[in-house]
Amino acid sequence: MKSPRSRSGSSKDTGPKRIPGKALKSASNPGENDATLDSATSRTARNKTVSLKTARGRTTAQQRWLNRQLNDPYVAAARKQGWRSRAAFKLIEIDDRFKLIEEGTRIIDLGAAPGGWTQVAVKRGAKHVVGLDLLPVDPVAGAEIIEGDFTDPDMPDRLKDMLGGPADLVMSDMAPNTTGHAATDHMRIMGLAEGALDFAFQVLAEGGSFIAKVFQGGSEKDMLALMKTAFSSVKHVKPPASRKESSELYVIATGFRPQRLLEGSENA
Ligand SMILES: C[S@@+](CC[C@H](N)C(=O)[O-])C[C@H]1O[C@@H](n2cnc3c(N)ncnc32)[C@H](O)[C@@H]1O
């Protein structure tokens, strides 16, 4: 079995040049090498606060955003440790609980930009990690990054080829641009989650797992029913790093059983 790639953070892979639509292997990993430190930081981050001293001519909206950033210990912890996003801590917390990423796991990261979840997956020893986003993502050592839309019909096969086989874990932290209109935003994010689930059905190995960002609200009932058929366990979690005021949740489905999907469609 191949050893997990590039937990050391060094890279002799491709340089920083990025070609749209082209897969890259890449450089730059967060500093610490011990995953237990990530978890410890995550716990500590929950208790720290800092404050904005002056308004300095900023608009109210700018001030609110800055205050939130300054009072968000996860932002500071992410910056200090070299995670590309505070969202990295959400995956750390999810994985500490569900143990989905192991040495050798093959992972597809949908909506990877700026790369925090991809970094966590590599650091926790995943064998092959492919990250996909509509936006450019700077290289992440030990992962391949592709710029594109997960809804492209050839994307499931393309990513499976890049992984060298079916995925053990499909994770989606995808989010649309928000409109500020709660119902519209909810519908859009659930559309992405449903699309990600369909994508997962096409690329997951038997026994595989699926993580997706969803929103609290009524319309995911059909998706939930389908997941309960296709997976042996389905749970919703709100990781501590997820902002309390956000209605974001993550659905965690484990034990993919494709046969049940086939039986379901035959009986329909
Ligand atoms: C919240 S960010 C992901 C953060 C990431 N997990 C991290 O830790 O850095 C959501 C991403 O989903 C991406 N996204 C939205 N729709 C997408 C689509 N159709 N295909 C690929 N990526 C998409 C957005 O471009 C955005 O970068």
Q: Is the whole model's pTM more than 0.95, yes or no?
A: no
Edge-to-edge order in the sheet of strand 204-215: 24-25, 144-147, 128-133, 106-110, 167-172, 204-215, 248-256, 231-237
For the chain, what are the domain ranges?
24-267
141 CB-contact burial (10 Å; exposed 0-12 / middle 13-18 / buried 19+)? buried
Listed in sequence order, the residues at least 6 apart from 215 whose beta carbon sits closer than 8 Å to its beta carbon are 185, 186, 189, 190, 247, 248, 249
Confidence bin at 3 (pLDDT 50/70/90) = very low
Residue 161 CB–ligand 1 contact under 6 Å: no
Q: What is the pLDDT of residue 145?
A: 97
Confidence bin at 48 (pLDDT 50/70/90) = low
- Whether residue 221 lies in the annotated active site: no
The 3-class secondary structure across 21-80, one letter per residue, is CCCEEECCCCCCCCHHHHHHHHHHHCCCCCCCCCCCCCCHHHHHHHHHHHCCHHHHHHHH
Å from CA of 1 to ligand 1 middle: 31
Instruction: Quick: pLDDT tens for 190-231.
Output: 999 999 999 999 999 999 999 999 987 645 788 999 999 999
Residue 174 CB–ligand 1 contact under 6 Å: yes
Instruction: Quick: pLDDT tens for 75-106.
Output: 999 999 999 999 999 999 999 999 999 999 99
| Distance between CA atoms of residues 95 and 223, nearest Å | 22
How much of the chain, in percent, has pLDDT values that exceed 90?
A: 58
In this structure, of 20-24, 86-90, 130-134, 143-147, the range with the lowest mean pLDDT score is 20-24
Which atom of ligand 1 sits closest to the CA of residue 112? 5
Q: What is the pLDDT of residue 35?
A: 64
Domain 24-267 top-level CATH class: alpha beta
